Structure 1
Amino acid sequence: MIALSEDLLHRLRERAPEYDRENRFFDEDLAELKDAGYLSPQTLLETVRNQRLLARYAPATALGINMHHVVVGVARVLHDRGDTTLDWVLADAEAGELFAFGNSEAGNDQVMFDSRTVATPLGDGGYEFTGTKIFTSLSPAWTRLGIFGRDDTDPDDPKLVHGYLTRDTAGHQAVGSWDTLGMRATQSFSTRLDGARVPAERIARILPVGPTGDPYIFGLFANFLLAIGSVYAGIADRALELGVEAVGQRTSLKNGGRTYAQDPDIRWQLADAAIGLDSLAPQLEGLARDVDELVNHGGDWFRLLVGAKTRAVDVSRQVVETAIRVSGGRSYGASNELARLYRDVLAGLFHPSDPESAHSTVAQNLLGPLE
């Protein structure tokens, strides 16, 4: 298991406010994490634990690096199930290449089950991709970019084509701006694809439009949802820590100068936050272990995965808000760490699967499809 040293983690925490304030990419963090071997393949359980720890110190850095580990994690899921077609991803990650996702699209609420990007076959097994992807985390630094698009060559049998660009490929550029409320250091610019070519050997999957049980899609959802949930749990870990520190320092005139740590109402609020937070590790880590150990949850898998991500984000937001509430007005200052954590944790609302999609997935698992 890759170890994140205390010295490294504290350096990352020291730089986090600067990245946020200056709205710039975490170049120094990335260099240190790469030197520490953190880009190398990990089991999903290791990823979930490491990413939660990393987010406790540098949330935006953790969220950005998450995208790399999701792509590498998909390759690991396939390898563990006897499919070696993406073993080159594992080798590239071991060599220090940085992977990112170019999958999200504005107005595409089908997420991975359809695409507005055009995938045009080249006749030799490769494809050209034309379209715009949004929220491309790691935009300034990725060396490998996962993308997908729709091939309508046969209108009666459209296909979704998944492939990986290399940085030196022509036909892609970062566009727009990244001036967001939180998670600013991820520098998740949009990516415009204009005939960007992916050769046959970098085409990962050609799948039908719509939901599929293909292991590639399973691996993508499993790694993304559990790793995302872990990042927000890490933010909540830090917020609870800061809340406990704050109430141990704040004094109450009403209570004879005693600290708020002796106030029953404050104690209840922090205890309630901790109870919610303590529930996340068994769920996130348990499912990650099941993925690693090839446990078969059958048709329940997607219900379990979207439920874990949704709960992790919701609980983490509640914990951060509680920490702010018990810490008093000083936490409202723009430079206060809790204020930054609050802005960062709100980004969890925008990652797939959103609450509507998650509840639809669970309802379908329980009740069957709508008639």
Structure 2
Amino acid sequence: MDLFELLPDDLLERFRARAKGYDERNEFFHEDLAELKSQGYLRMFATIDDGGLGFGLQQVAAAQRRLATAAPATALAINMHLVWTGVAHLLARRGDDSLRYVLAEAVAGEVFAFGNSEAGNDSVLFDSNTVAAPLGDGSYSFTGTKIFTSLSPAWTRLGIFGKDSTGQEPMLVHAFITRDTPGYSIKDDWNTLGMRASQSNTTVLDGAVAAADRVFRKLPVGPNADPLIFAIFACFETLLAAVYTGLGERALQIGVETVHKRRSKKTGKSYAQDPDIRWRIADAALAMDGLYPQVDAVARDVDGLVNHGGMWFPALVGVKVRATETARTVVDLIIRVSGGGSYFAGSELGRLYRDVLAGMFHPSDDESAHATIATAWLGPVEQ
């Protein structure tokens, strides 16, 4: 199946039409999710022999970019499912079958979500405020609060992690719980400026138990070279970049359409003939043209098992920051040429302006990305 069969134009138009209502009502994208499931979208990373589409990260990123041109909040939330299935795919490609069941369950219709983010935890995957308590049979009880849990109304599998401090060396324990697991609650607190359809509510873990066979990694606190960490960063950052690239792409399309329609009272010509507006449109197009090949190249190198060594993490955080910042710049440029209509509630461009702001909050943020890149080029800060 190619990209245009997976996401045909008429399907994207339905998504775009619904996106406005989801945003206005602060409502989850149930209809979009049902249609994506029926297209096989949630099983893209599984092999064809296993009932999937056989896509790699490069193809999935391209699909996410296309989806985001119609419904950025839908694409952003679906990213979380695709991160876990992508991680399982990347590990399997590297000879690690520890998450093979994730792909099998995705093919069976399960929806995976990402429950790792914690307020104030700037160590991200290298430490946790959540307590992971061993129960003696290999299972763990998790107690803590997870924020930005996209897909909250729909997930059936939630990936979580916490810190086990009972041994000589604290360990970070990664596991999955199911929708039926007791000991968690979901707050109804997603009332945000943008990306509203993602319904990324706070999840409170209060002794939620992950079974022993769903505890899939125990890692020391702090940075480490485990393939799981690379796989999570590779999928998370690349797919985020793809979503915001699609958002910027759509903003540019709207801008081109709008300036052709608007006419100057002074000259009688369309604003597409105004030299200042042409400059801004060209600026936006130049910015986007540099982004498409970067996202594609990073995803292609991940698929190709290219060894960038110590430059992998700078490449991954770099593409995420560039995509989110470029998209924000492009949306701002397009609003400047589109007139006051974009300021009214219900305007697609106005919604993109709100949606694009979420990009600065996803890890890696601007500060940590710059620290990562500076360390790669200059070495660590002297103590």
Q: Settle same-fold status: TM greater than 0.5.
A: yes
1:266 aligned partner: 277
State which of 292, 301, 307 in structure 2 corresponds to 1:281: 292
2:77 alignment partner in structure 1: 64
Query: What SS is found at the alignment partner of 1:101?
Result: strand
Work out the CA distance in 2 between the residues paired with 1:174 and 1:309.
28
Deviations 1:148-182 (Å, cap 9, x if unpaired)? 0000012x410000001111111111014111000
Pairing 1:298–2:309 present: yes
Partner of residue 49, structure 2: none
Q: Deviations over 1:299-332 (max 9, x none)?
A: 1000000000000011100111111100011111
CA deviations 1:217-242 (Å, max 9, x no partner) are 10000000010011111111111001
- 1:15 maps to 2:27: no
Cα-to-partner distance string for 1:36-70 (whole Å, 9 max, x where unaligned): 11100231111110000000001110011010000
Q: Would you say 1:158 and 2:170 are equivalent positions?
A: yes
CA root-mean-square deviation: 0.9
Please say if 1:199 is aligned against 2:206: no
Select the residue among 96, 109, 119 that pairs with 2:109.
96
Paired with 2:109 and 2:308, the residues of 1 have a C-alpha distance of 34
Corresponding position of 1:235: 247
Residue 310 of structure 1: SS of its match in structure 2?
helix
Distance 1:206 1:344 in 2: 35
Q: How many positions carry a matched residue from both structures?
A: 369
User: What amino acid sits opposite 2:270 in the alignment?
Assistant: T
The match for 2:139 is 126
Distance 1:181 1:213 in 2: 37
Measured after TM superposition, the shift of residue 358 of structure 1 is 0.2
* 2:235 maps to 1:223: yes
Q: Report 1:109-124 matches (<5 A).
A: 109-124=122-137
- Comparing 41-50 with 313-322, greater Cα deviation is found at 41-50
Q: What residue is the counterpart of 1:370 in the other structure? A: 381
Alignment of structure 1 residues 352-367 onto 2, 5 Å = 352-367=363-378
Residue in 2 that maps onto 1:107 = 120
> C-alpha offsets along residues 234-260 of structure 1, whole Å, 9 cap, x if unaligned?
111111001001110111123x21111
Structure 1 runs, 4 residues or longer, greater than 4 Å off: none
For 2:380 and 2:241, the matched residues in 1 are separated by 27
Identity over the aligned pairs, expressed in percent?
62
Q: Which amino acid aligns with 1:226?
A: T
Counterpart of 2:41? 38
Matches of 2:38 and 2:188 in 1, distance apart? Answer: 31
* Residue-by-residue CA offset, 1:178-206 (whole Å, 9 max, x unaligned): 11000000111100101111111111210
Once the two structures are superposed, what CA deviation does each residue of 1:101-144 show, in whole Å capped at 9, x if it has no partner?
11000111111110000001111211110000000000000000
Mapped pair 1:174 → 2:186: yes
Q: d(CA) in 2 for partners of 1:288 and 1:205?
A: 25
2:125 alignment partner, SS class: coil
For the residue of structure 1 that corresponds to 2:40, the secondary structure is: coil
**Other structure's SS at 2:163 match:** strand
Answer yes or no: is 1:331 the counterpart of 2:342.
Answer: yes
Distance 1:178 1:71 in 2: 22
Match of 1:143 in 2: 156
| TM value normalised by structure 1 | 0.98
Structure 2 gaps of 5+ residues are 46-54
Structure 1: gaps (5+ residues): none
Report the Cα distance in structure 1 between the residues aligned to 2:169 and 2:329, rounded to whole angstroms. Answer: 45
Q: Hey, what's the Cα distance between the residues in 1 that align with 2:10 and 2:216?
A: 38
Q: Which amino acid aligns with 1:253?
A: K
AA aligned opposite 2:207: G
